[in-house]
Amino acid sequence: MQADFKDSIECLSRHGVQASSLWRAKVDEVGLSTARKILDDNGVAAVSLCAGGLFADGSKTAVEDNKRWIDEALALGADSLVVISGGLSEGDRDLAAARDRVIQGLSDIVPYAQAQGMRLALEPLHPMVCGFRSVISSLGDALDILDAVDADDTLGVAVDSYALWWDPGLESQIQRASSRVLNFHASDWLRETRDVREDRGMIGDGCIDNRLIRSWLERAGFDGFVEVEIFSALDWWKRPIDDVVSTIVARAGATL
């Protein structure tokens, strides 16, 4: 959305939206304490901070970076830090090793998150962004990692319908996840998408039955917020933010 942090939060408040996940880059624009003040002044709570993790490329600073982001999530009053695995570095073709680094990285930061009382939500992303964004593509793969790290009090998953809707095993994997689902992100997959990352559709405009996926989540015990997350450089980010949020609010009842 082409709006700064303050305008975005004020817009949500204007339309009666009382909670939102926060994008790190937007928080960084204003700084942590100003961001918290803007949230409090507008009665908008932070659901989660996005996105930490980014272990797959073997960054030497990943653990320290994530500790800082955990601290930032705490300062913002967020319930979770969403973590994505990251993609491969230039020239790297060893996907198995990259996935191992994700497990190691999560294992390294879990004790710190645990001590701070901050939950981490591992978010698998669509297989088309495996190369540059996430070497973890399915909910089943993410849950295998949770099983390997074995810290269910701290490490859960974020279910993003845009990333996972294609998976015939999604319903059973949501049942398997059970109480480990910490976040639900919703948008729509445009049938003729032009960009796998920044051409997300408005809820109701595409192929995803978000209401069905939500029903699976609720049957598994999830009772958190539905976070509408529309990366849309090609369409919705070009529109006035009040139009975007009012469209989400108007459609939520029928599509989520």
Minimum Å gap between C-beta 203 and Zn ion is: 13
Q: Under 8 Å CB-to-CB from 2, ≥6 apart: which residues?
A: 237, 238, 241
Q: Under 8 Å CB-to-CB from 22, ≥6 apart: which residues?
A: 35, 46, 48, 49, 50, 76, 78
Type and span of the H or E element at 159: strand 155-160
Minimum Å gap between C-beta 50 and Zn ion is: 7
**Three-state SS at 19:** strand
Query: Which of residues 113 and 158 has its CB atom nearest to Zn ion in the complex?
Result: 158
Quick note: the x/- pattern for Zn ion over 165-204, rule CB under 5 A, is: --------------------x-------------------
Query: Which of residues 99 and 200 has its CB atom nearest to Zn ion in the complex?
Result: 200
Quick note: the x/- pattern for Zn ion over 139-158, rule CB under 5 A, is: --------------------
Using rule CB under 5 A, residue 133 touches Zn ion:
no
Q: How far apart are CA 206 and CA 96, in angstroms?
A: 33
Minimum Å gap between C-beta 29 and Zn ion is: 20
Indicate the residue type of 5.
Answer: F
Q: How far apart are CA 83 and CA 123, in angstroms?
A: 6
Minimum Å gap between C-beta 43 and Zn ion is: 24
Minimum Å gap between C-beta 180 and Zn ion is: 16
Query: Which of residues 72 and 160 has its CB atom nearest to Zn ion in the complex?
Result: 160
Query: Which of residues 12 and 157 has its CB atom nearest to Zn ion in the complex?
Result: 157
Task: Say if residues 114 and 74 touch (Cβ distance below 8 Å).
Answer: no
Minimum Å gap between C-beta 108 and Zn ion is: 23
State the maximum Cα–Cα separation within the chain, in Å, rounded to a whole number: 48
The residue from 79, 160, 188, 205 that contacts Zn ion (CB under 5 A) is 160
Q: How far apart are CA 135 and CA 34, in angstroms?
A: 34
Binding residues (CB under 5 A) for Zn ion: these are 160, 185, 229
